[in-house]
Amino acid sequence: MRIDEHDVLIVIDVQNDFCPGGALAVTDGDAVIDAIHRIAPLFQHVVLTQDWHPPDHTSFVTAHPGKMPFEQVELSYGLQTLWPPHCVQGSNGAEFHPLLYLPQAELILRKGFNPRIDSYSAFFENDRVTPTGLAGYLEERDLTRVFLAGLAYDYCVGYSALDARRLGLPAYILRDACRAIGLNGSAAKIEVEFARAGVSLIECAALFG
């Protein structure tokens, strides 16, 4: 597969709290870093996203007394999974993993900073309406095909890919450069959505072919 000047690599949420030892650790989350480093030089354009929550964020289980982590509640925009507090603005957990080294990244997009709504996708908050601004950025830069890597495959990576397709952009998830949370079959469930939406799942090796 040939990568050209209209392609962008979007690296999703490779932050301390999503890596081993973090507040919402994804199993082997830090294993994505080597894969990302291998493929990043192929791309002229790289974007990073960063979960960036206020300490009282509505997605935190601590904002819902009597609830347990990973329970779901109905909020104004739909069902919300309640997460342990993570990626709190200015905390070490919100920082990018120290081994992630992508100085060529052209944009760092912070998401999830509105205390009243979560934001899995790099394109829209969880109401699926409020934009983050990424779509406009890609359009103005004439970046028309997105490749996604990072954390977590079944949430922020997956929702970003689905929204890219909703916007009419070809979307490729680099499966071996992602890791999943695996909450109640979440990976299998979102793969059904990928098939329906036309999200392509590829391995990093395909970029070198």
Spatial CB neighbours of 164, under 8 Å, sequence gap ≥ 6? 123, 146, 148, 170, 171, 199
> Which of these is catalytic: 30, 51, 111, 163?
111
Outline where DSSP puts E strands in the chain: 7-12, 46-51, 72-75, 78-81, 107-111, 145-151, 171-179, 200-202
Spatial CB neighbours of 111, under 8 Å, sequence gap ≥ 6? 49, 50, 51, 52, 119, 121, 122, 125, 132
Backbone angles phi, psi at 60, to 5 degrees: -80, 135
Residue 189 falls in the annotated catalytic set: no
With 0-12 CB in 10 A as exposed, 13-18 as middle and 19+ as buried, what is 136? exposed
CA 67 to mean position of chain CA atoms: 25
Residue 111 falls in the annotated catalytic set: yes
> Which of these is catalytic: 7, 13, 17, 163?
13
Parallel, antiparallel, or unpaired: how do β-strands 171-179 and 145-151 relate?
parallel
> Which of these is catalytic: 156, 163, 178, 204?
156
Task: Record the tokens describing residue 60, joined without a space.
Answer: 């935190």
Residue 28 falls in the annotated catalytic set: no
CB 49 within 8 A of CB 18: no
CA 70 to mean position of chain CA atoms: 18
Which residues are known to be catalytic? 13, 111, 156
